[in-house]
Amino acid sequence: MKKVSQELDDQLLLYLDGQLNSAAREGFELALKQNDALRQRLAQLQEMETSMKKNIVEEPSKNFTQLVMQKLDHYQAPSSSFTMFNGILLLVGILLLTGIATVLVSSGVFDQATGTIDLNTIQLPKQYIQRSLPSISIDGKLVINVIILLNLGLGWVVFDRTILKPLFRRRMQMLR
């Protein structure tokens, strides 16, 4: 099927809506008789228009908003599967892991844990990389310190979600 230009498509819509004056309508009907693609597009648009007229838009009742607003106070948030007990256990685990890692770092276990990663040992096609790649040195103590800091951040998030949030929620309910 030959595609109809945007201008003709716009004229088709105006023709369907009855917005063309008599001279323009007669000229457009003449063009319709001569152009098969235009007639097919008109048939498509007429089919879409009739199917859209068949669909009835449903409207809610006049007191819908009022009924919804009345029931908002009765709605209770679903209980989460992340209970306070599970949160406290997770928090204790995080603090225990952080404590053990801190003791190990302070006793010097990771002082000698250093190494280098030589990127030249990785088998890469020579067509992509012509130069020698650098070596990356890794300090074990620094890696463990970063892990400890991440655990402390995670611990604060868990502490907030499991202890502080329920505590302040109860206080707000008592003030009401």
Please check whether residues 95 and 171 belong to one and the same domain. yes
- pLDDT above 70: residue 149: yes
Asked whether residue 64 is domain-assigned, the answer is no
Asked whether residue 60 is domain-assigned, the answer is no
Asked whether residue 71 is domain-assigned, the answer is no
Please check whether residues 88 and 165 belong to one and the same domain. yes
- pLDDT above 70: residue 79: no
Domain around 26: 6-54
Reported as a single tens digit per residue, the pLDDT across 24-60 is 888 888 888 888 888 898 899 889 888 888 877 778 8
CA 120, CA 114: separation in Å to the nearest integer? 19
The residue among 150 and 53 whose pLDDT is bigger is: 150
The number of distinct structural domains making up the chain is 2
Residue 82: which pLDDT band, with cuts at 50, 70 and 90?
low
Please check whether residues 49 and 96 belong to one and the same domain. no
Distances (CA, A) of 23 to 13, 17, 19, 27, 30: 16, 16, 12, 6, 11
